[in-house]
Amino acid sequence: MTLTQTSGLRLAEEQLTAEPPIDLVTRCALPAPSVEQSSNLPAVDAQPVTEPYPLDRAFHAMLARFTGGISPVALSLAYLDWSSHLAASPQRQLERARDVVRDTDRFIDAAARAASPAQNPWSVIKPQAQDRRFAAPLWESPPFNLYAQSFLLGERWWHDAATGVHGVSPANEAIVEFSGRQVLDMLAPSNFAASNPEVLQKAFRSGGENFVFGWQNWYSDLIRMLSAGKTAGDEQFVVGKTVAASPGKVVYRNDLIELIQYHPTTEKVRPEPILIVPAWIMKYYILDLSPQNSLVKYLTGEGFTVFAISWRNPNASDRDVTFDDYRKLGVSAALDAIACILPRRKVHALGYCLGGTLLSIAAAAMARDGDNRLKTITLLAAQTDFTEAGELTLFINESQVAFLEDMMWERGYLDTTQMAGAFQLLRSNDLIWSRLSHDYLMGERAPPSDLMAWNADATRLPYRMHSEYLRKLFLSNDLAEGRYHVDGKSVSLADIHAPMFVVGTLRDHVAPWRSVYKIHYQVDADVTFLLTSGGHNAGVVAPPGEPGHSYQVMTKAADASHVDRDEWLKLAPHAKGSWWQEWSKWLTARSGVLGDPPRMGFGNVDGLPDAPGDYVHT
């Protein structure tokens, strides 16, 4: 069975023009797509790939099991670069030695006066504002305050020693500093019962009961990990019942996506539908969590017709699926299906994270070919230039990518544990060590949340797609530099003229907002840029009424002068509340008058499931 037969929807080339043809509905009156899920997704226009040196690749794949997917060669080269230049810098070595003597002298003086009532508990060094490990008042009492300060002094010394060495490449410097910091984070006094005053106080008050509960938590987590079960507390978040529960219908399916159309919740709706293109490194329903946290529910309540792509979780047989397959069978196929349901209607397209990168590529290709079906484009924490892609680039250089390719080559995909582990390392204090201390030493459990349950519901990534993504976008930065090709021709983001709403999050470790901001320099369009509080996920899931949210927003017209990022921070007005409401007002101003809701799907969709569909469970 070919992809054309399976999809049941292949619009002709002439349909991808500025105005859909008169007989579009007739063309769309095709048999309903098959509901049988193919176990294999052939790559579109893919050529067989000859794998060089299979024995070498098998050896690297075996080695990856012991290194967690980290290339030992990349790590060794980084330390060789740093240590060689440091060895040839005697003045630099002398400065670091002086730092040790100075800090030791100050620390001894502070220790001698630790019991003095007038003594400042953080007289030698103070934790950074974002470091919550030593925030409790108990850490201000000796000797625990001295434990914390000695650790912070060592942490600062390592940072100074690992950075600023003349001649070391920035990439290798970042690897050395980051890897050393991971070891130090593991040795923090907050991670051990004897040096953590909060743990000792809890043990004294509970008679050691916290250690019993902590052991139970550890054993429970171990059993769940070995059995691939859900994280403790996540059982209450059931896909289709308590999360991903917005009512709707799968109206189109091919071998890669299910397209969900959500039922309207208002009598009248805006004529332009919204298409949500999520990332496929996680399940789509981050934008349809619990009803109170669901962007889908919010949008339907604002009078919009909403469609969302749900990606199928690939397996080993999908090893040769390409990055462009995700564009063709994802964004393009979804837009074709929407055109059948709502002919001659333009679409508000939204892309999140990697889905936003894909959407920007699709939009550039459509603009190049004269296809103006996109009314507006919204990007959420999505990068189109990867030169400042944050700490995630530590895992992406030629040696590391080659090592990942060998690991994926053996399996046919990138396993969920590799991707999740990389993201956890970026915030190891919050996601690893603080949690271990809280769960196993304090014997407590954080309240379960729908966002954390979603975060644990990871997906796999096809070997060829992920390799192309890393090489073309991260390593070569082809999209930003005009070398990215779609259908044999290069695409340029400068061809995009549709109004854009771009969201960056203030504490994003995956797509830093300063990197996301570069869209201003790439497109020829009005760009409304919004910087919201929070991180990559929690900053996006920011429903109205939830306290603590704030944002800055400012619009730059296509013909206006550019403003750099630091200047934008000074000029953009501040606002309290959810960015969802700001975006809804922006969409409404660019939408038509209210009218009757559209039909659900096109043709015969009785054989397709209700939302959230089948693919979300794969």
Cα–Cα distance between 553 and 248 in angstroms, integer?
32
Cα–Cα distance between 339 and 11 in angstroms, integer?
10
What b/e readout covers 274-291, taking b as 16+ CB neighbours within 10 angstroms?
bbbbbbbbbbbbbbbbbe
Parallel/antiparallel/unpaired status of strands 527-532 and 500-505? parallel
HSE-CB of 513 using CA atoms within 13 angstroms: 26
Both tokens assigned to 500:
């854009």
| Residue 565 CB burial class (10 angstroms; 0-12, 13-18, ≥19) | middle
Is the distance from CB of 147 to CB of 195 less than 8 angstroms?
yes
The single residue of 287, 334, 353, 358 carrying the catalytic annotation is: 353
Cα–Cα distance between 472 and 322 in angstroms, integer?
12
Residue length of the chain: 618
Is the distance from CB of 138 to CB of 197 less than 8 angstroms?
yes
Residues 6+ apart with CB under 8 A from 114: 142, 143, 145, 146
Residues 6+ apart with CB under 8 A from 544: 298, 577, 578, 580, 581
Is 353 a catalytic site residue? yes
Nearest to 309 by CA among 290, 343, 337: 337
Is the distance from CB of 86 to CB of 93 less than 8 angstroms?
yes
Long-range contacts from 559-563, C-beta under 8 angstroms, 24+ separation: 562/520, 562/521, 563/520
Is the distance from CB of 521 to CB of 562 less than 8 angstroms?
yes
Catalytic positions are: 353
